[in-house]
Chains A and B, each alone.
Chain A
């Protein structure tokens, strides 16, 4: 430290004699918010896997008429309760063998099905192909969930925005209403609605949306409250932009993360309610199947024909798990602070 290093003299030439404004530039490229969100989401392996899984499930549901090997409602009573069978391969559990009266027999031969008859996941008590029913059931469950979520948004979004934006007396009244609605257990509201309305797809959607929008409205309201005080919104207000314009131009884009995340949690909730209602017998009427009715049918025969329960239970669980995990992933991606 005490020694002076030998440095060639010409190195002591001054640079930056001129002023150095260019130093204000920021060196690293900056990512936009959405790019950042996408990067974070894609770097989350679990969320990516769930996204792929859900995409496959959605695609199968959309193309159900092409993908399903049989007509889901076609009954062949003589082929009732056949176990799963995949071609002629001898995979335990999927070889068409069944225990009957203590003996393992080839169930397909017993009912005299022609060679080559296979039901990948077996048949139910009316001889309907379980795989096709599950594909159509998933489709129906997803339709219910998506419609319910949409209705949920249609009610919850404006309600939340108005409540949060107007504040004051309007807010108090709107919040009281929400308080009362949310103090009745969701399921009871849904069940009451189901009793009053005719059973069917529309009733289920309305019943579920009627309870779920409350959560959405609450979140949107809280977020709106915060946004309202933000400077750019204040600026827009001072400049005299109309409320609708502020709502569509400034509020909704900034609410989008809340909306997307909440939607990801509403979907499994709706799927659960639908399954629940169908399970206790006030959901989707026969002969159409949803995952809930399939579960309920499966449960009745579960002790002796467990495969009829397993398949819909696994599909339902996978959808629930995947949507929940994807919701988590989205939340972390939109709001990195929530994860670290």
Chain B
């Protein structure tokens, strides 16, 4: 297991290295300079600015420098935003994004599991239909549409929550709800499929034949067996929450990295775009790695290695 984890961590860095290189060269392919839309600089000024950012060097040198910086945890310096280092920019803005992201994941996953489980137990009844309907809505309605609707009704019309503000927990409720819809829908649907499968398995029949009541069959056997695979979709869920977060943060004016990313795009702030791309990829790979390791610990069939005589 330790060897496996070490190998995975090595892959993580390898993948990150490749991603960073690809991003770097893609950015170099861009036409024009990032300063073209700033207050027209004279030729000399432009040269000074370029030198300041090291952009007068050959591309290869720039690349080596960038990668060297990356190795020390330096993601470069923003062209905009007072020339702040990108790392610092991310550091300042990470907390709000993490908070709404984590809240949305927890709310979405827990509700999704409950919804999916009830749908499976009451398969082909109105409960199932209702749960399927809710999960399809969650899956289908884009988070930014939901965010705007929530903002309009719960904040603007009925004044239950602040419209666009970032201070206390209250202000995180609406963005959390908007982001939770997708994981809720996905988890509910996945959970239902898994559980329907499990409920029709031989070992559930055996559990019934032992004298377990329907409720005991679910709590003692069906739930655990259906929950284990749900862990596998947490990674992809985290990614879609991250994606949704970019616009949702914008809509609710939350000072997070998603909002920053969108802002960098509209202002052509390449170092920030690059830095955030690498950072997002890092988060994603890390989440998937953690989930995989977690899965190994939860599922006895993987935890113990397939040492059984199959």
Q: Are A185 and B30 in contact (CB under 8 A)?
A: no
Within the complex, which residue of B136, B145, B288 is in contact with A295, where a contact is CB–CB below 8 Å?
Answer: B145
Give the distance to chain B from A211, nearest Cβ to Cβ, in Å. 11
A80 at the interface (CB under 8 A from B): no
Within the complex, which residue of A281, A299, A316 is in contact with B251, where a contact is CB–CB below 8 Å?
Answer: A299
Report whether over half of chain B's contact residues are helix, strand or loop; otherwise say mixed.
helix
Please count how many residues in chain A sit with their CB below 8 Å of the partner chain's CB atoms.
35
Q: How far is the CA of A39 from the CA of B151 in the complex (A)?
A: 44
Q: Are A186 and B136 in contact (CB under 8 A)?
A: no
Selected interface stretch from B86-94, B202-210, B277-285, B290-298: B277-285
8 A Cβ contacts from A240-296 to B: 268, 272, 275-276, 279-282, 295
Q: Are A272 and B142 in contact (CB under 8 A)?
A: yes
8 A Cβ contacts from A173-220 to B: 179-180, 183-188, 191-192, 195-196
8 A Cβ contacts from B129-155 to A: 136-137, 139-142, 144-145, 148-149, 151-152
Report whether over half of chain A's contact residues are helix, strand or loop; otherwise say mixed.
helix
Within the complex, which residue of A179, A191, A313, A317 is in contact with B15, where a contact is CB–CB below 8 Å?
Answer: A179
A126 at the interface (CB under 8 A from B): no
Q: Which residues of B contact A20 (CB under 8 A)?
A: none
Selected interface stretch from B58-66, B101-109, B242-250: B242-250
Q: Are B26 and A192 in contact (CB under 8 A)?
A: yes
Question: With A183-B285, A280-B250 known to touch, is A275 a contact of B152 (CB < 8 Å)?
Answer: no
Give the distance to chain A from B53, nearest Cβ to Cβ, in Å. 18
A324 at the interface (CB under 8 A from B): yes
A57 at the interface (CB under 8 A from B): no
Q: Are B15 and A279 in contact (CB under 8 A)?
A: no
Within the complex, which residue of B141, B246, B266, B277 is in contact with A184, where a contact is CB–CB below 8 Å?
Answer: B277
Within the complex, which residue of A184, A280, A309 is in contact with B247, where a contact is CB–CB below 8 Å?
Answer: A280
Q: How far is the CA of A281 from the CA of B251 in the complex (A)?
A: 13
B10 at the interface (CB under 8 A from A): no
Give the distance to chain B from A298, nearest Cβ to Cβ, in Å. 8
Q: Are B144 and A276 in contact (CB under 8 A)?
A: yes
Q: Which residues of A contact B280 (CB under 8 A)?
A: 184-185, 188
Q: How far is the CA of A338 from the CA of B197 in the complex (A)?
A: 8
B273 at the interface (CB under 8 A from A): yes
Q: How far is the CA of A303 from the CA of B159 in the complex (A)?
A: 13
Q: Are B277 and A188 in contact (CB under 8 A)?
A: yes
A232 at the interface (CB under 8 A from B): no
Q: Are B140 and A187 in contact (CB under 8 A)?
A: no
A306 at the interface (CB under 8 A from B): yes
Q: How far is the CA of A74 from the CA of B72 in the complex (A)?
A: 55
Question: With A179-B15, A313-B149 known to touch, is A279 a contact of B247 (CB < 8 Å)?
Answer: yes
Q: Are A188 and B281 in contact (CB under 8 A)?
A: yes
B23 at the interface (CB under 8 A from A): yes
Q: Are B243 and A185 in contact (CB under 8 A)?
A: yes
Q: Which residues of B contact A306 (CB under 8 A)?
A: 152
| Chain B residue nearest to A179 in the complex (CB) | B15
Question: With A183-B281, A184-B277, A185-B284 known to touch, is A317 a contact of B239 (CB < 8 Å)?
Answer: no
B156 at the interface (CB under 8 A from A): yes
Give the distance to chain A from B269, nearest Cβ to Cβ, in Å. 11
Q: How far is the CA of A282 from the CA of B247 in the complex (A)?
A: 13
Q: Are B247 and A276 in contact (CB under 8 A)?
A: yes
A107 at the interface (CB under 8 A from B): no
Q: Are B140 and A321 in contact (CB under 8 A)?
A: yes
Q: How far is the CA of A338 from the CA of B192 in the complex (A)?
A: 11
B171 at the interface (CB under 8 A from A): no
Q: Which residues of A contact B193 (CB under 8 A)?
A: 338
Q: Which residues of A contact B149 (CB under 8 A)?
A: 313
Q: How far is the CA of A321 from the CA of B141 in the complex (A)?
A: 8
Q: Are A282 and B265 in contact (CB under 8 A)?
A: yes
Q: Are A279 and B144 in contact (CB under 8 A)?
A: yes
Question: With A196-B29, A275-B142 known to touch, is A180 a contact of B284 (CB < 8 Å)?
Answer: no
Q: Given A303-B152, A309-B148, output 19 extra A-B contacts at Cβ < 8 Å.
A: A180-B19, A184-B281, A186-B239, A187-B243, A191-B265, A196-B30, A272-B142, A276-B142, A279-B247, A280-B266, A295-B145, A295-B148, A313-B149, A317-B145, A320-B140, A321-B136, A321-B140, A324-B136, A338-B193
26 A-B contacts, Cβ less than 8 Å apart?
Answer: A183-B15, A184-B281, A185-B239, A185-B281, A186-B243, A187-B243, A196-B30, A275-B142, A275-B144, A276-B243, A279-B144, A279-B247, A280-B247, A282-B266, A299-B251, A302-B151, A303-B152, A306-B152, A309-B148, A309-B152, A313-B148, A317-B140, A317-B145, A320-B140, A320-B142, A324-B139
Contact surface of B with A, Cβ cutoff 8 Å: 15, 18-19, 23, 26, 29-30, 136-137, 139-142, 144-145, 148-149, 151-152, 156, 193, 196, 200, 239, 242-243, 246-247, 250-251, 261-262, 265-266, 268, 273, 277, 280-281, 284-285, 288
